Amino acid sequence: MGILDELKQEAERRRTGEHPVMPEEPKEGLWSERLGPAAQRLYEFLKQLSTHLNELKKRVRVVYNLPGYGDVVAYIEAPYTLKATPGSDSVEITLECAATVATEECATLETEGVLRTQSLTQAFTKHRLSGLQESKKNANGEVVAGRFLARGRVPLTLHVEAGQALGVARITLTNFYGFATTIRSFRHAQLTPELFDSLGRYLTHEDAGFGRENVDEDVRRTLAAKVQREQTKRRIDQDLGEQSIEDEERVRALMAGGGVLKIVRKLLGR
Q: Do residues 185 and 54 share a domain?
A: yes
Same domain as 133, residue 53: yes
Indicate whether 264 and 151 sit together in one domain: no
CA distance 267 to 110: 66
Q: Are residues 156 and 265 in the same domain?
A: no
Domain boundary (165, 181, 212) is at 212
- What does the radius of gyration of the chain's CA atoms come to, in whole angstroms? 29
User: Which domain, by its residues, includes 7?
Assistant: 1-19+216-270
- Domains identified in the chain, total number: 2
Are 68 and 126 contained in the same domain?
Answer: yes
Predicted confidence pLDDT, tens digits, the chain (270 residues): 566 666 667 777 776 655 555 555 567 789 999 999 999 999 999 999 999 999 999 899 999 999 999 999 999 999 999 999 999 999 999 999 999 999 999 999 999 999 999 999 999 999 999 999 988 988 888 888 999 999 999 999 999 999 999 999 999 999 999 999 999 999 999 999 999 999 999 999 999 888 665 544 444 455 456 556 666 666 666 666 566 556 666 656 555 555 555 554 555 555
Looking at the structure, do residues 245 and 192 belong to the same domain, yes or no?
A: no
Assess whether 130 and 177 both reside in one domain: yes
What are the residues whose beta carbons fall under 8 Å from the beta carbon of 76, sequence distance 6 or more? 59, 60, 61, 62, 97, 98, 99, 156, 176, 205
Does residue 230 share a domain with residue 169?
Answer: no
CA distance 88 to 70: 47
Distance, CA of 132 to CA of 51 (rounded, Å) = 37
pLDDT reported for residue 139: 84
> Which of 186, 212, 238 delimits the end of a domain?
212
Q: Is residue 191 domain-shared with residue 225, that is, in the same domain? A: no
Contacts 24+ apart (CB under 8 A), 223-232: none
Indicate if 81 and 191 belong to the same structural domain.
yes
Displacement of CA 79 from its chain's centroid (Å): 25
Residues 65 and 167 in one domain: yes
Residue 141 is predicted with a pLDDT of 84
Closest to 196 in 3D by CA, of 89, 49, 32? 49
Give the end of a domain, one of 165, 186, 212.
Answer: 212
Residues 162 and 175 both lie in one domain = yes
pTM: 0.67
